Structure formats: structure tokens, C-alpha cells
């Protein structure tokens, strides 16, 4: 029998190789949901992957209801498996680049749309379009929170020093046995319980083992806040930052 919880945990550890403060930003994300939408939110976990945000939401808010949405069949397999029997969570396979993707959702609107390390896969134009769509998916008074790579090109000397420091940290972690993105996918492709879903992922999305990754763009937190306001959110600003990443909240 597949140990889906173990797969979920190894995914989290692999992500933390890149983002050592990942749990801190998730805590700030959920604190913001509690402050602005209450203790029983209906949450859309957008580009949910293995369901990390969903698991944190359900642990934090016993009366929450979640929908996980993703196009990756392998990661969704892990999400469904690790949340088997969890009646508060639903899962939807779809491509948010399709114009009609919201019709796949079980609810017309949500208190909170949460996403992490995902939307940098989109270029600027499609991301602006997505924000306009999400302004309709988030109920009035609800929130969209996007945590992602949000570089600041105005500080090149700071960026260079911090990037060098982070590379050294990751090299030390790798020497100690930490698994990176490519290594995780290579192992998943060889696992019998994931082989079919991973093969579908490689065919429809791309093969990370061969170096295939995002052709999108990363933008500053200020860019995201402005794009959210242009899309119809009443307020938007950064609520958290690390040397390489940021998190922006849009209030509908």
C-alpha cells in the first residue's frame, strides 16, 4: 500500500530545501485568513500541488472547507491519497490557463483563494487575466493571498550577496542528503504507485528530470499589488517577505 503521507512529507522537505522559511510564510498566510475572513473559511487552494496549504488550513480551522485545484496528476494523486477520508476537502483536476476553469469548481465564490510558489509559471499577461478572474471567484470582503518568488531588481548588490549565501546553504544541505526538485521527481517516476500519474505529468506538463520548468515570469511584490488593484481588488499589499520570496494579499 502506498504511503501517501510519506510522499507529502518528502515533497514538503524538498520544497524547504529551496524555502527554509516556508512554514513561517504559511503561518502568516493563515493568520491573515483568520483576521479577514474568520475561523470557518471556504478556501480555494489554487495550484494546490500535494495539498500542503489544504492540510495546514484544515489543521488550523476545524470548520473550514477546501477545494484543491491543480493540473498536475501526480501531485493531485498524493494530495488525494494523503487526505483520504477527509470530508472537508475536495479536489479538482484542471488547467487555470483555460478561460472556463472556474466552472469546474464546486462553489461559485470563496472566502479565500490561497496559492504558494505556483503563479511564477505564468507570464505577465496571463497572470493579469487570472487576477481578473479571481476577482470574481473571491467573494466581496474575501481575500486572495499569493506567496511566490517576488524579486526586487532595484537592489542588485543585496540580491547578489543573498543569492550567494542561499546557494551555499543549499549546497551544504545537499551534501547532507537533502533532496532537490529533480531528485524528488526522479524518485517519483520510479515509484510503482506514482508511475502512471508521473508519466501523464511528463507528457502533458513537462519532465523536470530533463530540466523542464517554468517559462513564466517573476515580479516584485509591488507589481503584484498593483495588478491586483487593477483587477478589481479594493486593497492589496505585501504582508510578508524573505530575501527571495514575498507574499501579497488582495482584499476583494
Say how many CA atoms lie within 13 Å of 183 toward its Cβ. Answer: 11
Q: How far apart are CA 240 and CA 233, in angstroms?
A: 19
Q: How far apart are CA 112 and CA 34, in angstroms?
A: 10
With 90 as the cut, is the pLDDT of residue 215 above it?
A: no
Q: How far apart are CA 127 and CA 124, in angstroms?
A: 5
Could you tell me the pLDDT band of residue 241, with boundaries at 50, 70 and 90? very high
**91 forms bridges with which residues in the sheet?**
68
With 80 as the cut, is the pLDDT of residue 214 above it?
A: no
Q: How far apart are CA 143 and CA 43, in angstroms?
A: 10
Q: What is the mean pLDDT of residues 4-21?
A: 94
Per-residue model confidence (pLDDT) at position 211: 63
Mean pLDDT of the residues in the chain: 95
Closest CA to 7 of 52, 48, 66, 57: 52
Q: How many residues are listed for the chain in this entry?
A: 252
With 90 as the cut, is the pLDDT of residue 216 above it?
A: no
Q: How far apart are CA 22 and CA 244, in angstroms?
A: 12
E strand or H helix at 189: helix 181-190
Q: pLDDT exceeding 90 applies to what percent of the chain?
A: 92
110, 102 contact by CB (below 8 A):
no
Cell of 62: 476545524
Amino acid at each position: 500500500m502506498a504511503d501517501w503521507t510519506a510522499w507529502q512529507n518528502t515533497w514538503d522537505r524538498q520544497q524547504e530545501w529551496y524555502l527554509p522559511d516556508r512554514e513561517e510564510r504559511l503561518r502568516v498566510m493563515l493568520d491573515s485568513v483568520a483576521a479577514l475572513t474568520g475561523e470557518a473559511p471556504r478556501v480555494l487552494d489554487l495550484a494546490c500541488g500535494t495539498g500542503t496549504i489544504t492540510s495546514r488550513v484544515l489543521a488550523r480551522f476545524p470548520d473550514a472547507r477546501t477545494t484543491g485545484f491543480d493540473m498536475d496528476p501526480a501531485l493531485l494523486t498524493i494530495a488525494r491519497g494523503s487526505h483520504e477520508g477527509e470530508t472537508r476537502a475536495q479536489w479538482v483536476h484542471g488547467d487555470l490557463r483555460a478561460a472556463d476553469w472556474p466552472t469546474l469548481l464546486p462553489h461559485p465564490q470563496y472566502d479565500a483563494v490561497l496559492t504558494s510558489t505556483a503563479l511564477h509559471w505564468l507570464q505577465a499577461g496571463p497572470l493579469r487575466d487570472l487576477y481578473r478572474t479571481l476577482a470574481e471567484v473571491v467573494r466581496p470582503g474575501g481575500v486572495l493571498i499569493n506567496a511566490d518568488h517576488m524579486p526586487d531588481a532595484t537592489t542588485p548588490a543585496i540580491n547578489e550577496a543573498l543569492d550567494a549565501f542561499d546557494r551555499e546553504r543549499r549546497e551544504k544541505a545537499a551534501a547532507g542528503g537533502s533532496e532537490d526538485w529533480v531528485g524528488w521527481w526522479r524518485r517519483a517516476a520510479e515509484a510503482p504507485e506514482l508511475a502512471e500519474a508521473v508519466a501523464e505529468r511528463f507528457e502533458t506538463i513537462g519532465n523536470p528530470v530533463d530540466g523542464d520548468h517554468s517559462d513564466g515570469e517573476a515580479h516584485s511584490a509591488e507589481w503584484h499589488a498593483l495588478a491586483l488593484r487593477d483587477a478589481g481588488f479594493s486593497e492589496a499589499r505585501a504582508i510578508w517577505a524573505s530575501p527571495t520570496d514575498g507574499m501579497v494579499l488582495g482584499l476583494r
